[in-house]
A and B are shown apart, each in its own frame.
Chain A
């Protein structure tokens, strides 16, 4: 798995078909995927053009370029671990849809390709290749990036994803972002966004954070770093359910992709005093080392070149830096203290500005 990954990346880099080199490509960006023994991610990729690649990355009609950036094993819960890259050209055809179980939990005998997809126009079966990019790296979390060679102004790639916890049947999903370039800065969630926070003892609230960049598909790895934090007024704070401001929030930095517990964004004294939750302004922005490389400070993207990022004096509400998805799920079969007879799992992807 890892050998093929590295080789594919090296080949792609050598022949210059990374996203940076193919500025005219269309792409689709699935900002979050999770894989474990009981969780998987089902991704559907819809391709409406014949302007694609071949298996070597040359302009052709037959292949899409899949890149899965992930952190696995002990790094799964390390917010600051960089991602690794799985890089592969896989068959497609115009007007094709391919639904893939990235974890290979389902469709294990069909290379992760689901729902009786005939290998006729899109000759996926003949390749003998695996679409379940996360099959051998679980547990893992990451994001998926797919591109073709279409240079028209028409959006030719689209996607949807849903996370499936097949132990309980809980699921949630989202629509993937698409672009005419490799830049997904416009996909960043609006910063700040007002977010509701549920009672901590009954419902777990977590944020999936994926930093965005002018090049969302860097070669070999991804170490883009972004920060999320609650800052509702100048006091670094949030509101409880009785309109009381309370201070004591803690920023959390994420490299590539990460899951941040809302409780970890509060000091312990704050957490103890907002047991019923409340609301806050959630900021997200890229961070870069300061001039002396002694700390990470807010960054801003250059207006004329999104690939250029530099330190800023403060966080800005126009430099949104990450896709943020809020997940809420219950712990013990209750909601508002009343039995709900099972688990629930809700997600909200905060929209771009």
Chain B
């Protein structure tokens, strides 16, 4: 059942929605998650507890931090009479419930920690005098303890650095946090924790002769009284001149792994996705490089690893070795031996048949559209892996999926979005990993933009039944593209002709409706009308149409003049005699029709995001 209320903020959904994207495909359902609107870049985190129940924490549009339990109840974690103070967020599932961590100024500046079991909802300050900044992680172990690593700027530390990493542990039994331990210099708190409570922390540090990646191991054995569970000496993993924020640690069985995006060369465009593993608790490390993506700038990285040495990495990446022009794409790499060897990088999007969609031998039309922020998870069926990502091939953002039945070795990719919601934009954030497996299939925490300004969003949950996963694996689905047929081209010619006829007649209220919705969302009709009418068109003939995916280039021969007018800003009289020129405009296939992309010629600005 679909029940919608149109509001000033956009479309609010009440109750569950279930959509089939194409005839016969099993339905994916959509449910609202967060009760409140968020800024488009608002931070959130999600985690499952040991019983598989999903917990969610997020900042609403007023920057108030909220915790949502599996039953849908939400509570504010900060007083509701203030804003702009809390920042940063980490959430981790516990044996029963979840723990949240954030930085705040109230009641005093510090790092705050709260478990969902806390009855008085009074958070504990765990950062002490470390001057914590808004970057931290929390990881729970099988004992129920939560390990905390954060970035602080306390001066005068013996490391000689202004920027250091600190560790603390929340003991479920007390419950209380241990005193902060200075770990090492760094700005990215990267840590992984084994169920036993063993901890490995990582950091990149600059040095006179180039940077280095370090690890420090902290065993769980012994306990505080024995003095054994202290961080051991730092170990150099590798020499790396620079790293980006793409740094990720995880385990595969008993093996520790750390992956980073390094920057090499004077121009720092020699991007190298590389890593190292250790089987002796960080005493020694073996380095590896994922050279298929050398020169590719990575914007996001998520990991799925099981206990049987299977690892799948999914990344957002684009080649920036020579320039900054290419669009982002999504890739997967896998290992069947816990990272000792790695596969080639596989583009998760299915290449498009050239003859069907207007591509050329040199360029797949998919390369014209961004894809980003993939998430990945192993399923309940051995060997099954599901990857989902945000894809702009339909000009709007949609969620697409790919399935592997052999632990990531080969993939089947959907050519249609998981949900086809007319007029909606569904996206994913670069973190956290947003896909959660269950016995019934998978759940994905996605972001639904409130409108085409793409300024606000609301979190939603997509439930993907196992039957739909089977359909993806079998290649079901239909492309959102119109095709490159003569019928489609003729329809576009007619639509472009109608647009130009309205332009000639000065019917600008009509021409406004031909423009892309992202422009119209930001530029109301009255402002558009105020900018139109200076140029008088006497003739417009659509001459050529070229389609690639959901983009078309339309060539139109026009005759136009500028009658004399006075510039409002300078008083200058301006006019131009009639002349004939050919203009090329881009038209877009959106929501089942062709719309003209609005471009601010002087600034080369468009309002679309693909």
Contacts and interface: CB of A to CB of B under 8 A. Distances in A.
B432 to A, nearest CB: 13
A120 to B, nearest CB: 23
B263 A333 contact: no
A333 B531 CA distance: 14
B174 interface: no
Given A235-B206, A244-B135, A247-B245, A331 B607 contact: yes
A268 interface: yes
Contact of A243 (B133, B299, B316): B133
B153 interface: yes
Contact of B261 (A106, A267, A271, A295): A267
A276 interface: yes
Given A331-B607, A341-B527, 13 more contacts: A36-B601, A204-B605, A233-B206, A236-B268, A247-B187, A248-B244, A251-B268, A269-B244, A269-B245, A269-B261, A270-B244, A329-B603, A333-B523
A123 to B, nearest CB: 24
A235 B318 CA distance: 23
B297 A268 contact: yes
Contact of B268 (A201, A246, A250): A250
Interface string A85-107: 00000000000000000000010
B48 interface: no
A280 B402 CA distance: 39
Contacts of A38: 601-602
Contact of A249 (B163, B268, B523): B268
Contacts of A246: 187, 245
21 contacts: A36-B602, A165-B602, A166-B574, A168-B602, A171-B569, A201-B40, A204-B605, A236-B268, A246-B187, A247-B187, A248-B245, A248-B263, A249-B268, A267-B245, A267-B246, A269-B300, A269-B430, A270-B244, A271-B299, A329-B603, A333-B523
B567 interface: yes
Given A166-B567, A169-B568, A248-B243, A234 B299 contact: no
B224 interface: no
Interface residues of B, number: 56
Contacts of A46: none
A190 B269 CA distance: 25
Label chain A's interface by main secondary structure: loop
B71 interface: no
Interface string B434-475: 000000000000000000010100000000000000000000
Contacts of A276: 41
Interface string A226-241: 0000000111110000
B267 interface: yes
A39 interface: yes
A264 B567 CA distance: 35
Nearest to A246: B245
B267 A251 contact: yes
A237 B206 CA distance: 11
Interface string B566-608: 0111101010000000000000000000000000111101010
User: Which among A250, A276, A329 has the greatest number of chain B C-beta atoms within 10 A?
Assistant: A250
Contact of B601 (A167, A235, A342): A167
